[in-house]
C-alpha cells in the first residue's frame, strides 16, 4: 500500500475565520498577520492539525525581505527574524497539538514544511501566475532572492521545504540546482502553477518539466527531492496533468506527485471568489490522484480545515480498499 501524506489547506482561507476579514488583495497577503496577529496564525495551524493534516506549511509564502521592508517598513534583520518567528509559531502549534494528544500517541509526528513561494509573488503584479519574469531575470537573481528565506526557515527548524506555485521551468531548475549544490541534505518538493491541463503557467509542458527535473535530481545524486506536482490550480486539470507524467510509466518508475489545488472557485479582482455551489468536492478526486502516483494531497485557496478532514477520510478509505485487492 502506498503511503499518502495529507497536507493542510488554504492558510489565508482558514486564517480569515480567526481574523474576521478577507485577506485577498493585501500586498503581503496572510504574511502581514505574522507581525500583527501571530495568535491567529497559531490557531490556524491548529485547526488543520485537528482536522487530520499530517504536514503543516509555515505562513511564509509571501514573506520576503523586500515585501517586509516595503510594506511593514522593517529592516532586513527584523524581516528575517519575523520569518524565523513565523516558523516557531508553527512549531508551537505542533507541540501544543502533540501535547493534547499525548494520551493517544500518533503513529507519525506531523511534518513542518516551509512554504517557499515563487520569485514572482513579491512583485505583486500577478506574475507568479504567468512566469513572465523567466526571460528577464537570471538564475543567479532567483537564487539570491530565495536564499535568505530558505536559510531563515532552516535555521528556525523545518522538516521539508515546500517550493510552491512555481510558474516556469527556469525558476524550478534554478532552485533544484541550488538545493542540490547548497542544501544537499534538505528534503524538498517543487510544485507548479499551471495554466491548463498540459502546461505550466509560463507555457512549458508539465510532463516534460517534471520528467526532466526528476531525472536531473537523480543524475545529481540527490535523493531528497521527494515529490513534484501542482498547487493553487483548478482541481479539474490535475488528473490530466498527472496522467501526462505517470500514466505510461510502470508503477515502479512512477514519479511521486504532490497536489494541493484550489477549491474550484474562480477568483477575479472585481468579483472575488465565485462559484462555490458549482464545485466538485476535492475528496471526490482523491482516488484517481492516488492511483496516478499522488503521495501528498491537500488544499490551497478556498479550502478550509473541514475540507482537509474530508480529504483525509477519502485517503484512508482508499488505503483500506487497497488492502483487499
Residue 80 to residues 87, 147, 157, 179, 188, Cα–Cα distance (Å) = 11, 11, 14, 20, 21
Give the pLDDT confidence score for residue 50 in this predicted structure: 96
Give the β-pairing of 272-274 and 266-268.
antiparallel
Give the pLDDT confidence score for residue 270 in this predicted structure: 79
For residues 62, 301, 214, 195, the Cα torsion angle rounded to the nearest 10 degrees is -100
Per DSSP, 276 falls in state: G
Retrieve residue 36's grid coordinates: 500583527
Give the pLDDT confidence score for residue 264 in this predicted structure: 86
Specify binding-site residues for Zn(2+): 232, 300-301
Residue with cell 496572510: 30
The Cα–Cα gap between 188 and 243 comes to: 23
Residues in contact with 40: Cβ distance below 8 Å, sequence separation at least 6, in sequence order: 15, 18, 19, 33
Residue 210 to residues 13, 17, 52, 193, 207, Cα–Cα distance (Å) = 29, 36, 29, 12, 5
Give the pLDDT confidence score for residue 23 in this predicted structure: 67
Q: Give percent of the chain above pLDDT 70.
A: 95
Give the pLDDT confidence score for residue 39 in this predicted structure: 94
Give the pLDDT confidence score for residue 1 in this predicted structure: 42
Q: What is the pLDDT along the chain (325 residues), one digit of tens a residue?
A: 458 999 999 998 899 889 876 666 677 777 788 888 999 999 999 999 999 999 999 999 878 888 888 888 999 999 999 999 999 999 999 999 999 887 666 678 999 999 999 998 878 787 888 899 999 999 999 999 999 999 999 999 999 999 999 999 999 999 999 999 999 999 999 999 999 999 999 999 999 999 999 999 999 999 999 999 999 999 999 999 999 999 999 989 999 999 999 998 877 777 777 777 677 889 999 999 999 999 999 999 889 999 999 999 999 999 887 554 4
State whether residue 3 is helix, strand or coil: coil
Residue with cell 512554504: 115
Q: Is 5-323 a CATH 3.30.70.2190 domain?
A: no
Specify binding-site residues: 232, 300-301
Q: At what angle do helices 169-182 and 139-156 cross, to 10 degrees?
A: 50
Give the pLDDT confidence score for residue 296 in this predicted structure: 98
Residue with cell 537570471: 138
Give the pLDDT confidence score for residue 64 in this predicted structure: 85
Give the pLDDT confidence score for residue 323 in this predicted structure: 52
Nearest to 36 by CA among 77, 89, 76, 108: 89
Start-to-end C-alpha separation, the chain: 10
Give the pLDDT confidence score for residue 324 in this predicted structure: 42
The Cα–Cα gap between 306 and 85 comes to: 27
Give the pLDDT confidence score for residue 2 in this predicted structure: 59
pLDDT, tens digit (0-9, with 9 covering 90-100), for 111-138: 999 999 999 887 878 788 889 999 999 9
DSSP 145-175: HHHHHHHHHHHH--SEEEEEEE--HHHHHHH
Residues in contact with 289: Cβ distance below 8 Å, sequence separation at least 6, in sequence order: 238, 239, 242, 257, 259, 297
The Cα–Cα gap between 264 and 147 comes to: 33
Give the pLDDT confidence score for residue 106 in this predicted structure: 66
Q: Which helix (H) or strand (E) holds 162?
A: strand 160-166
Give the pLDDT confidence score for residue 124 in this predicted structure: 73
Retrieve residue 275's grid coordinates: 462559484
The Cα–Cα gap between 118 and 176 comes to: 13
State whether residue 281 is helix, strand or coil: coil
Amino acid at each position: 500500500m502506498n503511503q499518502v501524506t495529507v497536507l493542510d489547506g488554504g492558510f489565508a482561507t482558514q486564517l480569515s475565520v480567526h481574523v474576521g476579514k478577507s485577506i485577498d488583495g493585501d500586498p503581503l497577503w496572510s504574511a502581514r498577520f505574522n507581525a500583527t496577529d501571530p495568535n491567529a496564525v497559531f490557531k490556524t495551524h491548529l485547526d488543520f492539525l485537528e482536522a487530520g493534516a499530517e504536514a503543516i506549511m509555515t505562513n511564509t509564502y509571501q514573506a520576503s525581505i523586500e515585501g517586509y521592508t516595503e510594506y511593514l517598513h522593517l529592516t532586513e534583520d527584523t524581516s528575517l527574524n519575523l520569518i524565523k518567528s513565523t516558523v516557531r509559531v508553527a512549531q508551537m502549534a505542533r507541540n501544543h497539538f502533540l501535547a493534547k494528544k499525548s494520551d493517544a500517541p500518533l503513529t507519525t509526528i506531523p511534518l513542518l514544511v516551509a512554504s517557499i513561494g515563487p520569485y514572482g509573488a513579491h512583485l505583486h503584479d500577478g506574475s507568479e501566475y504567468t512566469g513572465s519574469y523567466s526571460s528577464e531575470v537570471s538564475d543567479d537573481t532567483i537564487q539570491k532572492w530565495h536564499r535568505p528565506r530558505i536559510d531563515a526557515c532552516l535555521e528556525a527548524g523545518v522538516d521539508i521545504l515546500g517550493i510552491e506555485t512555481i510558474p516556469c521551468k527556469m525558476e524550478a531548475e534554478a532552485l533544484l540546482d541550488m538545493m542540490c549544490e547548497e542544501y544537499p541534505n534538505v528534503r524538498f518538493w517543487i510544485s507548479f502553477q499551471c495554466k491548463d491541463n498540459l502546461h505550466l503557467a509560463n507555457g512549458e509542458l508539465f510532463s516534460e518539466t517534471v520528467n526532466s527535473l526528476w531525472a536531473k535530481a537523480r543524475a545529481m545524486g540527490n535523493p531528497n527531492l521527494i515529490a513534484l506536482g501542482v498547487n493553487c490550480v483548478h482541481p479539474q486539470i490535475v488528473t490530466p496533468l498527472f496522467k501526462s507524467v505517470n500514466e505510461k510509466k510502470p508503477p515502479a518508475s512512477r514519479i511521486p506527485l504532490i497536489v494541493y489545488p484550489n477549491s474550484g472557485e474562480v477568483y477575479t479582482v472585481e468579483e472575488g471568489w465565485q462559484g462555490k455551489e458549482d464545485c466538485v468536492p476535492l475528496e471526490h478526486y482523491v482516488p484517481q490522484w492516488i492511483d496516478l502516483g499522488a503521495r501528498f494531497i491537500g488544499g490551497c485557496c478556498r479550502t478550509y480545515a473541514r475540507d482537509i478532514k474530508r480529504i483525509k477520510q477519502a485517503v484512508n478509505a482508499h488505503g483500506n480498499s487497497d488492502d483487499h485487492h
